[in-house]
Amino acid sequence: MPPSVEILLENWLEELRIQRDYSAHTINAYRRDTVGFRKFLEEHKGENITAETLKNLKNTDFRSWLSRRIGEGLSARSNARALSAVKSFFNYLAKRNLSDLKVIDTVKRPKLSVLLPKPIEEDKILSFINSDFFFLRDPEWITRRDRALFSLLYCCGLRINEALNIKTKELGSEIKVLGKGKKDRMTLLLPSVLDRINLYVSSCPYDLKEGFLFVGLKGKRLHASLVDNRLQKLRLLHDLPDHAGAHAFRHSFATHLVRHGADLRSVQELLGHESLSSTQIYTDVDDYNLLKVYQNTHPLEKNSLS
């Protein structure tokens, strides 16, 4: 007799965590989506859901579930993620002969609208990271910390957690960054940014030599939520756009590089993208400027024939 659905779910999530190294955030999202799917089935079928129930589901059951989510006002992106989670669970079941993937594979993924990244304008981001202070009453070392952090995010296009996971002993002209999927990549540091980091380190009242580079008031590792909270308040003080969260520095890094003629392969490597298609979205942000670079650099345009 097959295990209960609850046990199957927990075993599947444990496999994702241990064997596939999924993050806690992803595991929680997958748990929430599949538990929601099971609860829908209980209402839809009017019975307790067993492994046998899952094995005998029809295409219409999955469609009814997605229709319910659409009716509840959930976005296409949220529904696509939920379907991905459920498909992953049924793939786990299929390996144990507890489901037929042909049924769920006929369910089409919701179409997603392309969300273009929103960079911060060059003059505004440069003015911001070169500010004499961020909050007037901050201790000087906190101002230096923030200036170093924001400069680093814009200099290297790091995700906020990539920056906050850097250890002080790893500092140099190159830094090894632990990216998504726990994949390492090397990123270069501009000398001016390294100088800012070193100035912060030398003024910090805590010994950072063996610990994390960026710490809070009590000397503990700085958290992304605190950084975004500070940025929400700083937007009003420094005339930054509404979307100027920590990730906007990464978008600005990539967009500004493309705007000034950097090739996509290089930007892809710097961002740590696995696929070039993930990087190509930055060409749509400023097509006009990219066209000017193209016209100014292509040999046929530079040596046009009359």
Point out the residues that are catalytic. 159, 180, 247, 250, 273, 282
Which of 11, 173, 164 minimizes the C-alpha distance to 95?
Answer: 11
Which of 1, 62, 60, 2 minimizes the C-alpha distance to 33?
Answer: 62
- Euclidean distance between the first and the last CA atom of the chain, given in angstroms as a whole number: 81
Query: Distance (Å, rounded) from C-alpha 107 to C-alpha 63?
Result: 7
Q: Return all residues near 286 (Cβ < 8 A) that are at least 6 apart.
A: 255, 258, 259
Which of 172, 132, 170, 166 minimizes the C-alpha distance to 149?
Answer: 166
Q: Which amino acid is at 175?
A: I
Q: What is the CA radius of gyration of the chain?
A: 24
Query: Distance (Å, rounded) from C-alpha 161 to C-alpha 219?
Result: 17
Tokens representing 290 are 């990219």
Query: Distance (Å, rounded) from C-alpha 190 to C-alpha 176?
Result: 14
Q: What is the largest CA-CA distance in the chain?
A: 81
Long-range contact list for 147-150, CB < 8 A, 24+ apart?
147/196, 147/200, 148/193, 148/196, 148/197, 148/199, 148/200, 148/214, 149/214, 149/222, 149/227, 150/249
Strands 174-178 and 184-188: antiparallel
Q: How far is CA 221 from the centre of its chain?
A: 20
